[in-house]
Structure 1
């Protein structure tokens, strides 16, 4: 499975308009596309950031012209710029979170030979049974040796409580940690 991560750096006063479009015609276009395996959206309204992660059976399917136009329309509605990244999905612990849950994104340097296989085992051991844990996935760009560890929590306080545990499971140094609010998960993964 492959993931396309679209991050829009917009204006705080236009995030709601961008999200409305992303959750309306954009979601419909993505989910109706051949090869699509779902779409998750999360945002940081205070920073003006919207993130949409679409999942695909083949990475090329994420670049269809209609989808490119839909992404551009969401960026324009949010008054911002779009950054698109492509990843392979190394592994998932399916998320069962409600809208409003906290999504934590830890950007990591990873060992491309193992694609974070050891990270999954350590995460399960250290974090899986922590109250508030909803799910996790590791997205990997093998060419860059980069990964995105995406974990979902019932609340921001739950996500903050596990900083030490997340630090203990990293394969490499984190370049950034970002926190968002779940707008809507992939079909079948919302509660």
Structure 2
């Protein structure tokens, strides 16, 4: 399974228009493309940063969709009023009990196989015992050595309460991978139509 994420550095005032675009145009378009397994959208209403991520059955389907989706991405950028960055990933881990209402995204650089094993064996069992935890995923880009770990939470309060333990788990993962933490950001989950199977 693969994923393509489009990160928009938009304007906070345009967030609602962007959500409407995802619901009415981008989501329905992706539903009709062969090999697509869904779409999610994360937004930060304070900064205007948004991440739309589509999932794909295989790398070939993801690559074949690029030309068809480029105008959709460009329209999203115009609506949100900012810049965008497109990244492609392999889905290494997907573990979900429910979608939740908000997410914490952590980007880490390092040994991706070690990162995946640490998250699967050491981190997921701890997360499952954390109040309000809904799901976790790990996307990896083997060319850049970058991993993108996302945890979803039932409520904003649950996510905030988990920050200290999340900091510890993230530091351990980076250490085990012989790498570093690149960035951490918290978002609202405003669109979650993903059909990726359990991959834990």
TM over 0.5, shorter chain: yes
Mark the CA change 1:188 to 1:65 in structure 2 (over 3 Å): closer, same or farther: closer
Output the CA distance in 2 between the equivalents of 1:23 and 1:61: 22
Q: CA deviation at 1:127?
A: 1.5
Matches of residues 12-161 of structure 1 in structure 2 within 5 Å?
12-62=12-62, 63-98=65-100, 101-114=101-114, 116-161=116-161
The answer on whether the counterparts of 2:10 and 2:77 sit within 8 Å (CA) in structure 1 is yes
Output the CA distance in 1 between the equivalents of 2:42 and 2:191: 7
What are structure 1's unaligned runs of at least 5 residues?
none
Mark the CA change 1:95 to 1:65 in structure 2 (over 3 Å): closer, same or farther: farther
Q: Would you tell me which structure has more helix in proportion to its own residues?
A: 2
Q: CA deviation at 1:13?
A: 1.4
Output the CA distance in 2 between the equivalents of 1:182 and 1:97: 8
Q: CA deviation at 1:3?
A: 0.8
The answer on whether the counterparts of 1:126 and 1:165 sit within 8 Å (CA) in structure 2 is no
Q: CA deviation at 1:168?
A: 3.2
Mark the CA change 1:188 to 1:145 in structure 2 (over 3 Å): closer, same or farther: closer
Q: CA deviation at 1:159?
A: 1.5
Output the CA distance in 2 between the equivalents of 1:42 and 1:151: 12
Q: CA RMSD in A?
A: 1.8
The number of residue pairs the alignment matches comes to 187
Aligned to 1:34, what secondary structure does the other structure show? Answer: coil
The answer on whether the counterparts of 1:42 and 1:181 sit within 8 Å (CA) in structure 2 is yes
Q: CA deviation at 1:187?
A: 4.3
Q: CA deviation at 1:18?
A: 1.6
Higher mean C-alpha displacement, 134-143 vs 44-53 = 44-53
Mark the CA change 1:107 to 1:34 in structure 2 (over 3 Å): closer, same or farther: same
Output the CA distance in 1 between the equivalents of 2:133 and 2:34: 32
